[in-house]
Amino acid sequence: MVSPMLLIAVPLAVAFLLPVIDHLGRTATRVVHLATLAFGIVVAGDWLYRLAGGAATAEILTGGWPPPFGINLRLGTAEAVLVLLAYLTAFVAALYLADREEESNVRGTVIQTVLVVGAIGLIMTRDLFNTFVFLEISGIGTYALVVFGREKSGLEAGFKYMVLGSVASIFVLLGVAFLYKLTGTLNLDDMAGKLSQAMVAGSGLILLLLLVGMIAELKLFPLNGPAIDLYDGAEPGVMALLVGTTVNAVFYTFAKMTALYEGSQWVEAITVVGMLTFVIANLFAIRQKKVRRMLGYSSSAQLGLLVFLLPFVRSGEILASTVGLLVVNHTLAKAALLWLAGIEGNEELDGWRGAFATRPLLRVGLVVAVLAMVGLPPFPGFWGKWHALVGLARGGHPWWITILLLGSLLEFVYYFGWLRRVFDGIQERAEALRPLKWTEVAGVVGFTVLLFFGVRMLGEAWGSVAALALAAVGVVLVLASVIPGRMQAAVVLLAVAATAWRLWGTQLVLSDFRGLILTVVLFGAMVVSLAGLGLPAPRKSYWGVFLILVGSIVAMIETTSLLGFFAGWEIMTWSSYLLVSSSQKGSRPAFLYMVFSGGAGFLVLGGLMVALGGGVQTLAGLTTLTGAAALSAWALLAAGFAVKAAAWGAHIWAPDAYAESPDLFTPFLSGVISKLPIFGLGVVAAAIAAPAISYLGRAFDPTHILAWVGGLTAFGMTLLAVFQEDAKRLLAYSSVGQVGYIILGLAVMSPLGWTAALYHVVNHLLFKGLLFLAVAGVIYRVGSRQFSSMGGLIKRMPFSFVSVLIGIIALAGVPPLSGFAGKWLLYEALMERGWLLLTAFMMFSSVIAFLYCFRLIHSIFLGQLKTVHRDVREAPWPLITAQYLLVIPILVLSVRPRWLLDPLQRLVADRFGSSTLQAVGDNTLVSSFGYFNAIAILVLVIVLFVGLLIFLLTAGPRAKKVGPLDIVYAGEVPPPPEELHYAWAFFRPYQRAFQPVLRGAVSAFWRDVADVSEAIADAGRRFYTGNAQTYVLYAFLLVLALAGIGLAR
């Protein structure tokens, strides 16, 4: 076993020797430098391995004196992780910086080594004065590294940093000195004991000095200005090094110091300053125009979060390992992002349009690092945040949870805003790129790979082999981008089919909510991957990400734990985000999709936290919640799922996301992804619905709100669909509206309502998938989504026409196809519940759907064919095959709705007892209000149809077919005759009639929200004047403010 002392001694010695070694040549310097760091990695790694295996913590007594007389160093698990991280970062940073002249010459190398020494000293020491010394070493190292050979901005940033650093040092030194005076010891553990034994009079102010000094060292709000300037001015590679070494070390130092604050009045100050930093830095970051500055704010915010958690770690509410996960996550992700920023070289955020377009591996790295930064699974940050939140929930801190989640949402805004630019304009950018060296890339690749150690926890949370296997194949496909797109689609088809095969009969059963949704998911995935055989993949990584998406959904459905559910939910969110963004104009709508989904996710998370705070661990355990907890959990969950379902009020993300996502993905987005909030409502939220509803008693039934939200969604989206000029946007609005009916059905909370909702879940998958696929084929052949550029295609694309025809009849609910049963069930359920106005309202909105249904089929297929489309071919056969895979079940359902209704009846019977819906004879469905017989209608229609057709064929003369231009003109033949397809502004009079309700109040509201937060962020940025004097002033003001508050109490 190597002595941990060598972890400090070796680099220190090497730092002194390097100038001598440099005489042997630059190569020798580098080799020795790297060898030193490699040695550190090996030793630290070895120690970590042993400590994790149960070895005792190493205590080193310098000079042989036991504490408190001698200075002692400690190497426990936490220290070992941080030391390893520091060495790893330093090693990769050294590689990265090897090509930068200033940083890689002997001075730079020495300073890098010194930084490592300072950081490791800080991490390991238990002596307060020693801490101060290492703080100074690190500080000097930082200025030196930042300032060396930089241009003006770097120099200035370094200077300001130094000024505030000096002030910080003064405060820290004063604090340390007074503490020594007070307690007579410098050993941290000793001092903490003495302080807590008797809070010596006057210790409050002393601790405050130390606290402000550390706030300045940690660069927390309001003293984070210079650090952010530093990110802006310094070389990103250097900043990455600092993140891995000094920043972590200072944080750990402060973590050790929290022992001193136990029981003092400053504990709350620590939490407040930490959380303020997290929220404010994230808020200010959203208006940044420069990448590195934005990353600086992000670092400040992350550090704020970590500091915020420290008092809870002391009080035992949160485990230290949770904070550790967050530290590791931040280090790996932020360093990778900084290196990427250095490689790309563009400082302006807008200059990142299409970045790494021809370097897919780096783009994958960027995406992974961003996902990790914002705390999405399976990366360590997610697990850290989850456990931190659970700790807060158990400790009874709902407000902290709320603020934390709000801050995290802001993080979504700017990180995904960054990715938006990266995904934007990928197609346009193909300039000659600077050749990359492996040394530059190594760090990014290595660190992003390391981030994947979070997958281990994913395996524990899910426990679904099928899901993990699907996701694993997905990851392989993402990396194997050389495989052609259609072959990848085939792989996806096989993988999903294999999963379905494996789960067939055991889990794919319609009489169980999970089984039903699982069936919907796998069937939908198979249909779109089959269609994928006929269309080019929108992006090379498309099918891989798609498989990850399917895997996450399967896991989400199969899991039994709340954690597993939420992990699946979030992976579903980001993978679908990536798919939406993968089309040409998808980046902007995808951004909006992600921000709203993020908000929805946090609402759901909030609901789950209420449950976890009540001691619930598993989905099944949710039923034990009662009272106010049940109501608040239910309300949060329902709100989250409603936002994700794009319910009215939060619908503005949906139309663009549906319309602009790749044609191959829209059917899945509409048919399957939109059903997942329904799964959430039906399985997660419904488990606590009963106590939640009964909590308010007869005073108010919260399901009314859900019902009207569903109803308004159905009506509003249907109305907006009518006025669209774009086929996919029309269907997008329609999809959201249809989900509104489903929400309404669930809100009825009766067996019949649920049967109606679930019937519609299946039916909507079928007809909307069909419509989107058919439209995808048309768009592929015609090259446009605009109605005005189509027309008359029935003659060129008859199979697609039949698909759309069947699709719209099923959608409109006109007998004899499957849609009618859905409408019938819903109305009967609403009448049973006594919601009469909603019944009539829904009848109205479902009739409005006729308008857009007709619009869709008329504008594309009927009317006059455009000259340019005379030779358009039918859609590719895989697409047609996929469509008819959906047509068959529609027809089956039309004939025998009972084949679906019977299992659904069993499903709802488990929850509510049997419903009023009964089958009389074989085919007549009877509810308490009405009846209908699907087969009788079908037979009636067919008999009439055939009879009349025979009549028409025999009676009268044989009809001659004439061309589309051979029509009766009322006196005027406008040239050219092709212009006569009436498709633009088809329902203009209708629009005029509805003008009062079409003012776009909801969009205006969200625009205001965005404007106001941006304005606040903009105003807040002025807080950081860039003037060193102001920063110093802030430090003194902070002392005064905290002293005022703290001593007054």
Footprint on residues 802-861 left by other proteins (CB under 8 A):
805, 812-815, 820, 823-824, 827-828, 831, 834, 836-837, 839-840, 843-844, 847-848, 850-851, 853-854, 857-858
The least distance separating other proteins from the CB of residue 729, rounded to whole angstroms, comes to 19
Site string for other proteins, 863-892 (x = CB under 8 A): xx----------------------------
How many residues sit close enough to other proteins to count as binding (CB under 8 A)? 72
Q: 667: cis peptide before it, omega within 30°?
A: no
Phi, psi of 125 (to 5 degrees): -70, 150
The least distance separating other proteins from the CB of residue 900, rounded to whole angstroms, comes to 18
Residue 206: exposure state from Cβ atoms within 10 A (0-12, 13-18, ≥19): buried
DSSP for 1007-1046 reads HHHHHHHHHHHHHHHTT--S-HHHHHHHHHHHHHHHHHHH
Is the Cβ of residue 951 or residue 1036 nearer to other proteins in the bound state?
951
Secondary structure letter of residue 817 according to DSSP: S
Is the Cβ of residue 192 or residue 851 nearer to other proteins in the bound state?
851
How far apart (Å, rounded) are the C-alpha atoms in residues 6 and 3?
6
Structure-derived torsion over alpha carbons of residues 670, 551, 595, 363, reported in degrees to the nearest 10: -120
Residues 715 to 754 in contact with other proteins, rule: CB under 8 A:
none
Is the Cβ of residue 49 or residue 945 nearer to other proteins in the bound state?
945
Helix axes 513-532, 542-558, angle to 10 degrees: 170
Q: Which stretch binds other proteins (CB under 8 A): 256-264, 297-305, 741-749, 982-990?
A: 982-990
The least distance separating other proteins from the CB of residue 753, rounded to whole angstroms, comes to 16
**Could you tell me if 14 and 36 are in contact, meaning their C-beta atoms sit under 8 angstroms apart?**
yes
Residues 6+ apart with CB under 8 A from 84: 41, 44, 45, 48
Q: Any idea which residue has 């580098």 for tokens?
A: 30
Which of 321, 623, 933, 1013 is in the footprint of other proteins by CB under 8 A? Answer: 933
Q: Which stretch binds other proteins (CB under 8 A): 34-42, 218-226, 284-292, 953-961?
A: 953-961
The least distance separating other proteins from the CB of residue 727, rounded to whole angstroms, comes to 16
Q: Establish if 514 lies at the interface with other proteins (CB under 8 A).
A: no
Is the Cβ of residue 697 or residue 963 nearer to other proteins in the bound state?
963
Site string for other proteins, 301-340 (x = CB under 8 A): ----------------------------------------
The least distance separating other proteins from the CB of residue 801, rounded to whole angstroms, comes to 8
Which of 940, 1004, 1009, 1037 is in the footprint of other proteins by CB under 8 A? Answer: 940
Residues 409 to 428 in contact with other proteins, rule: CB under 8 A:
none
The least distance separating other proteins from the CB of residue 834, rounded to whole angstroms, comes to 7
Is the Cβ of residue 956 or residue 1044 nearer to other proteins in the bound state?
956
* Upper half-sphere CA count for residue 581 (Cβ side, 13 Å): 28
Is the Cβ of residue 672 or residue 812 nearer to other proteins in the bound state?
812
Residues 775 to 794 in contact with other proteins, rule: CB under 8 A:
792, 794
Is the Cβ of residue 132 or residue 820 nearer to other proteins in the bound state?
820
Which of 20, 430, 888, 944 is in the footprint of other proteins by CB under 8 A? Answer: 944
How far apart (Å, rounded) are the C-alpha atoms in residues 164 and 172?
12
**Could you tell me if 859 and 791 are in contact, meaning their C-beta atoms sit under 8 angstroms apart?**
yes
- H helices of 219-290, in order, are 225-233, 236-242, 248-261, 267-285
Is the Cβ of residue 780 or residue 994 nearer to other proteins in the bound state?
994
Q: Taking Cα atoms as reference points, which of 295, 300, 421, 297 lies closest to residue 363?
A: 421
How far apart (Å, rounded) are the C-alpha atoms in residues 825 and 916?
11
The secondary structure element, H or E, covering residue 338 is helix 320-344
Site string for other proteins, 986-1005 (x = CB under 8 A): xx-xx-xxx-----------
Which of 63, 697, 957, 1044 is in the footprint of other proteins by CB under 8 A? Answer: 957
* Length of the chain as a residue count: 1049
Q: Which stretch binds other proteins (CB under 8 A): 50-58, 299-307, 366-374, 950-958?
A: 950-958
Is the Cβ of residue 667 or residue 813 nearer to other proteins in the bound state?
813
Site string for other proteins, 380-399 (x = CB under 8 A): --------------------
Q: Taking Cα atoms as reference points, which of 877, 864, 867, 727 lies closest to residue 794?
A: 864
Is the Cβ of residue 508 or residue 794 nearer to other proteins in the bound state?
794
How far apart (Å, rounded) are the C-alpha atoms in residues 811 and 769?
11
DSSP for 405-468 reads HHHHHHHHHHHHHHHHHHHTTTTT--PPPPPPPHHHHHHHHHHHHHHGGGHHHHHHHH--HHHH
Phi, psi of 506 (to 5 degrees): -95, -50
Structure-derived torsion over alpha carbons of residues 470, 476, 480, 485, reported in degrees to the nearest 10: 10
Residues 427 to 466 in contact with other proteins, rule: CB under 8 A:
none
Site string for other proteins, 340-379 (x = CB under 8 A): ----------------------------------------
Q: Which stretch binds other proteins (CB under 8 A): 569-577, 607-615, 899-907, 960-968?
A: 960-968
Which of 868, 948, 1004, 1009 is in the footprint of other proteins by CB under 8 A? Answer: 948
